[in-house]
Each structure stands twice: as structure tokens, then as C-alpha cells.
């Protein structure tokens, strides 16, 4: 072994030890969720200046330690802030192999393992959705998968657009619920249709799309001369965690010839659970679906599958036939480059494959059930406490709630949303700065609400109780 090889070997041995320590620390409830400091202090602490003379491999571990020290511990049982949390150890090793083999997913020749693994995983996910003939690819995130669905739908409805653009007077229009993710209207913007091309469909009291309103709005748009072509149902809305009624939306979509997409970025993983897969009943009727294993399944970001019920739509919308990559003497079935929005594309399949081998279907089912059950437990705890009230009472792993401090409970009821709004923003910011809990907030019906996300199977009942205690104490 040369001295350089020995130095590299020592670096990786130490890095592996650091990774194991970091995972242990992340799951320790006695550690803060974050060592919070402001951006100016952090800029100084990290010594961001780039050196003229390199510091050598010996500097890497210190940089890694510092990075981890100031990073949010998303695997901490009191990190309930985002739709993801933590990172699966087997999947982390998959990520290392991705970086180690450092290749790109456009051709089988360049990425033989990544290609066959991705094809197998996509087939598996498609089968779970109910797309037995389906195909797809991994994308850099749910927003890009959603964009790919809009591009495919536009291609089917307006096949001339790819070559010539929209014709004069052509006004395509799409539909998504008022609580769907912003990436749907933004996909309309990216496609050159404008923000106005996405019609916002009202939701019911728990945040599900109202199908009667969808029908009414489609007819209204047709009457004014616009052409409905796409509807997105959401399985697990970002804030409330609501599941739109896919079967009923599919019936409307079919009647009007619309492409039906399911944004299952968050809630797609419910399909792994016998207990909760009914929330996506009718998924097999959709044309496409987004599913992010980096959310409920605990895979490191980004792991986002773009799934199509029928083969060919992605290529029809996206193929550019770059002959310097996709040579005529190779088998196009195994060259995924023309199904993707990207040219260079990470091998995102390995981390999910590694983790699936370790946990199996049963392990993932247990994880998903555990997260749903944890949220249900939190709803029960909430109901027992005066001053707390649930917003959008539904069964997903998100719990939206408001808190009114005791000295404000005599205020007229009309004042409560404003007071709760102020309390939410103040309290959660205090919790975040002291590093005791990271819990997000969002606006629902015009006022801020706490949003707890059950994203970590290791969050215990006592963590949940401690959160309510901490909110009361700050209140």
C-alpha cells in the first residue's frame, strides 16, 4: 500500500466511525435537535474561506465533524418538522456506493447496475400502485416528478406542442385541490401555460378535494373555451396530510378525458400497509403517480419515483435522441436517458434497493403503520389537554393543531385564530432556537397552525407528551 492509499484507507475508516457515532447521537433524546446559531455566526464558525493551498485529506474529518455539529439532527425523535426524518443506515451505504461508483443513469453501458436496479424497483412500485404494465424513472424530487406528469399529459392532449408550441387561442387548463403542493401550478408555469392555467379546487373540512366542485369547475372552464387536460389528486397533502378520493376523481377525469395524476409524494407509501392502503383506493385508475421513498420510508433525500401506468408517455414527451449517448447499436429498452428530464442523473436506486433488502415489505409496512399510529396517539394526547384543538381531523401522519395560552382563553371566540396564530409562531420559534423540538407551522384557513409530522418510528409517547408540555410551558 502506498502512503497515499494508506491515508485514504484511514480517512474512510475514521469517516465510517464518525457516521456510526453521528447516527447514535441523532437518536439520543438528551442531545439537542439542533445546535442553533444564526447565519453570520455559522459563516464564521465554519471558516468558509476557500484556501489557495489545499489543506489535504487530513482536514476532512474536522470539516465533517463541524458540519454534523451544526446540522439539524433530522433523525432525532423530537424532529417532527418535515415530511421526512432521519436516514436509513443501509440506504446511507447505498448512497456511498452511488458516490463511489460515480456514474450517470442515461445508458445501460454507463450504469449497468443502477439501470437494472432502477427498472426492478420501478416495476415493484408500479405493481403496488396497480400499474402492471407501468414504467418510470427516479427524479430529483417530488416537484420534478409532478412536472414530468404534466409534461406527459400535455404531450398526450396536445401532441403538436413538443415541436411547435401551443397554437393560437389554445388554452389548456389543469386542476388540483386548494391544498395540493405548489409544484403542480408551478409545473403549469414551467410548461408555459401560466399560473392561471391551474384551477384550485376547494377542499372539504379535512382537506380532501371536493369532487362536486371539480366537476363544476371543469364544466365552467369548458364553457369559457378553455381545454381541461389534467387533474392532480393528492395522496397526503403537505400540510394537513389529507388523501383525496382518488376513485371519485378518476370517474370525473375519465368522463372528461383528463389525465389523472396522483401526487403521492408523501402518502404513496401508505400502499405498503394493508391497514392504510385503502386511502389510495382507485390508484390503478390513474395515468401517473409520484411516490417519494425519501419521506415515510426513511430513505435519504432524494428518492422520488415518477410512475406511469402505460409505457411510452415519458419518452413521447421528453426524448431528444442524443445520438452521442443513445447509440443505435444499444438496446433502447435499457437506456433510460430519454425517459428523464435530466441528462446527467444520479444513481438514486441503490439506496432504496439496499434498504428494501434489509427491511423487506414487512419492515416497511411496520414502519408506515407505526407512523400513522404515532400520529393517532398524538391526537389522543391533544384531545386530553385544555387549550389545544385539532385542525383538519384526519388519519394521516400529520397532525395540525392550535394552542391558546390560558391567559387568552377568555377572549371572544372570533379572536382565537389571531391569538393562536401569534402563539404558534412565537412558541415554535422558541423551541427551535433552544433545540428542544423542531416542529413546523403552516397557514390553514388564514391562520398559523402547528404541524406535527410523525416521521420517525423512534419518537415515543413520552416525546409527544414532552412536546405538549413544552408548548404549554412557553404559552
Interaction residues for ligand ABU, span 151-190 (CB under 6 A): 181
At its nearest, how many Å lie between ligand ABU and the CB of residue 82?
4
CA-angle at 211, arms to 209 and 214, nearest 5°: 90
Size of the site for ligand ABU (CB under 6 A): 5
Beta strands in 64-222 (DSSP E): 135-139, 172-177, 198-201
Nearer to ligand ABU, 211 or 235 (CB): 235
Nearer to ligand ABU, 161 or 375 (CB): 375
Smallest separation (angstroms) from ligand ABU to the CB of 238:
5
> What are phi and psi for residue 399, nearest 5 degrees?
-130, 115
Residue 142 Cβ vs ligand ABU, minimum distance, rounded to whole Å: 5
Is 305 a binder of ligand ABU (CB under 6 A)? no
Interface map 79-118 toward ligand ABU (x if CB under 6 A): ---xx-----------------------------------
Contacts of 18 (CB under 8 A, 6+ apart): 61, 64, 65, 68
Contact between 145 and 268 under an 8 Å Cβ cutoff? The reply is no
The string over 153-190, giving b where at least 16 C-beta atoms fall within 10 Å of a residue's C-beta and e elsewhere, is: bbbbbbeebeeeeeeeeeebbbbbbebbbebbbbbbee
Per CB under 6 A, which of residues 306..345 are in contact with ligand ABU?
none
Nearer to ligand ABU, 94 or 142 (CB): 142
- List the Cα angle 252/254/257 in 5-degree steps: 110
The answer to whether 74 contacts ligand ABU (rule: CB under 6 A) is: no
Place of cell 418535515: 82
User: Which among 268, 167, 163, 251 is positioned nearest to 209, based on CA atoms?
Assistant: 251
What is the closest distance, in whole angstroms, from the C-beta atom of residue 265 to ligand ABU in the complex? 6
By the rule CB under 6 A, 397 interacts with ligand ABU: no
Does the footprint of ligand ABU cover residue 349 (CB under 6 A)? no
With CB under 6 A as the contact rule, the residue among 238, 283, 290, 424 that binds ligand ABU is: 238
| CA gap 187, 275 in Å, rounded | 33
DSSP assignment, residue 438? B
Residue 339's SS3 state is helix
Contact with ligand ABU (CB under 6 A): which of 86, 142, 370, 397?
A: 142
| DSSP class of 246 | H
**240 is a site residue for ligand ABU (CB under 6 A):** no
- Residues near ligand ABU (CB under 6 A) are 82-83, 142, 181, 238
Amino acid at each position: 500500500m502506498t502512503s497515499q492509499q494508506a491515508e485514504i484507507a484511514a480517512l474512510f475508516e475514521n469517516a465510517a466511525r464518525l457516521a456510526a457515532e453521528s447516527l447514535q447521537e441523532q437518536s439520543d433524546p438528551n442531545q439537542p435537535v439542533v445546535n442553533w446559531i444564526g447565519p453570520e455566526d455559522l459563516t464564521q464558525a465554519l471558516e468558509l474561506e476557500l484556501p489557495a493551498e489545499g489543506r489535504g485529506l487530513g482536514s476532512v474529518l474536522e470539516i465533517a465533524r463541524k458540519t454534523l455539529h451544526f446540522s439539524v439532527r433530522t433523525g432525532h425523535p423530537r424532529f417532527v418538522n418535515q415530511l421526512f426524518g432521519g436516514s436509513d443506515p443501509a440506504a446511507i451505504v447505498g448512497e456511498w456506493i452511488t458516490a463511489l461508483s460515480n456514474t450517470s443513469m442515461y445508458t445501460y453501458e454507463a450504469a449497468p447496475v443502477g439501470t437494472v436496479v432502477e427498472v426492478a424497483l420501478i416495476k415493484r412500485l408500479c405493481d403496488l400502485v396497480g400499474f402492471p404494465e407501468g414504467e418510470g424513472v427516479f427524479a430529483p424530487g417530488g416537484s420534478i416528478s409532478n412536472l414530468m406528469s404534466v409534461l406527459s399529459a400535455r404531450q398526450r392532449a396536445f401532441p403538436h406542442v413538443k415541436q411547435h408550441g401551443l397554437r393560437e387561442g389554445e388554452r389548456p387548463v389543469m386542476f388540483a385541490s386548494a391544498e395540493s403542493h405548489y409544484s403542480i401550478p408551478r409545473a403549469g408555469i414551467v410548461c408555459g401555460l401560466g399560473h392561471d392555467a391551474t384551477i384550485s379546487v376547494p377542499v372539504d373540512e379535512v382537506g380532501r378535494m371536493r369532487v362536486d366542485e371539480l366537476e363544476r369547475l371543469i364544466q365552467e372552464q369548458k364553457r369559457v373555451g378553455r381545454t381541461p387536460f389534467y387533474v392532480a389528486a393528492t395522496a397526503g397533502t403537505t400540510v394537513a396530510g389529507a388523501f383525496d378520493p382518488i376513485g371519485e376523481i378518476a370517474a370525473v377525469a375519465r368522463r372528461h378525458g383528463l389525465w389523472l395524476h396522483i401526487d403521492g409524494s408523501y402518502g404513496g407509501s401508505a400502499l405498503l400497509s394493508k391497514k392504510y392502503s385503502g386511502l389510495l383506493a382507485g390508484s390503478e385508475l390513474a395515468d401517473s403517480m409520484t411516490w417519494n421513498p425519501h419521506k415515510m420510508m426513511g430513505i435519504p433525500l432524494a428518492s422520488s419515483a415518477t410512475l406511469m401506468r402505460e409505457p411510452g408517455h415519458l419518452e413521447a414527451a421528453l426524448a431528444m435522441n442524443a445520438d452521442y449517448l443513445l447509440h443505435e447499436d444499444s438496446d433502447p429498452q435499457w437506456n433510460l436517458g430519454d425517459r428523464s428530464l435530466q441528462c446527467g442523473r444520479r444513481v438514486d436506486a441503490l439506496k432504496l434497493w439496499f434498504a428494501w433488502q434489509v427491511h423487506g415489505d414487512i419492515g416497511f409496512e411496520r414502519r408506515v403503520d407505526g407512523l400513522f399510529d404515532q400520529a393517532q396517539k398524538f391526537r389522543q394526547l391533544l384531545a386530553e389537554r385544555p387549550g389545544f384543538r385539532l385542525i383538519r381531523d384526519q388519519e394521516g401522519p400529520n397532525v395540525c393543531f392550535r394552542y391558546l395560552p390560558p391567559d387568552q382563553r377568555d377572549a371572544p371566540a372570533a379572536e382565537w385564530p389571531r391569538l393562536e396564530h401569534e402563539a404558534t409562531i412565537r412558541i415554535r420559534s422558541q423551541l427551535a432556537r433552544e433545540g428542544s423540538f423542531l416542529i413546523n407551522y403552516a397557514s390553514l384557513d388564514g391562520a398559523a397552525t402547528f404541524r406535527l409530522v410523525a416521521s420517525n418510528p423512534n419518537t415515543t409517547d413520552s416525546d409527544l407528551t414532552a412536546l405538549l408540555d413544552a408548548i404549554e410551558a412557553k404559552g
